[in-house]
Amino acid sequence: MIDYQTALICTCIQSEDVLVSCRGKRIKAEAFTNEHARAIYDCLCKNMDDGQAFSRVELWMRVRKEYPKKVDAIAEWVENNQKLIPSTGWEKWAESVAIEYRETLKKTAMEKAFEMVASGEPVSDVVSHLTSAIQDADDSISLEE
């Protein structure tokens, strides 16, 4: 069964326009919970940031450089999943990844707030942290381009 993170990454490998759109939504590598998906997206973004040509060759050169011990597992993961992905639907997958990432950031902020309360920090500090962290989570992604 393919999940939307896998589908989105496999589509990003095929289409620079999809990758650009994901970057426009401010999706970061940390948004991907699958380690292989995160590694691929990280390498695609680094290549783009460095002005590298969008190509599989450049991608795999970067993967070998950044993840030398995992390159075989990552390649196998891509090969096993690439052929299962339809050519349409990436917009919904990107939105799902972005929303899940935003919600994870908010959950982390709440967990930190609970820790602050448990350690006896002033309520005003907890509220300030939580307000700021939730705003940062909302600002971390863009569902519109």
Confidence band (pLDDT; 50, 70, 90) for 133?
confident
In this predicted structure, what is the pLDDT of residue 143?
A: 60
Q: State the chain's mean pLDDT as an integer.
A: 87
- Which tens digit of pLDDT belongs to each residue from 33-54? 999 999 999 999 999 999 999 9
Q: Coil, strand, or helix at residue 54?
A: coil
Task: State the CB neighbour count (10 A cutoff) for residue 33.
Answer: 13
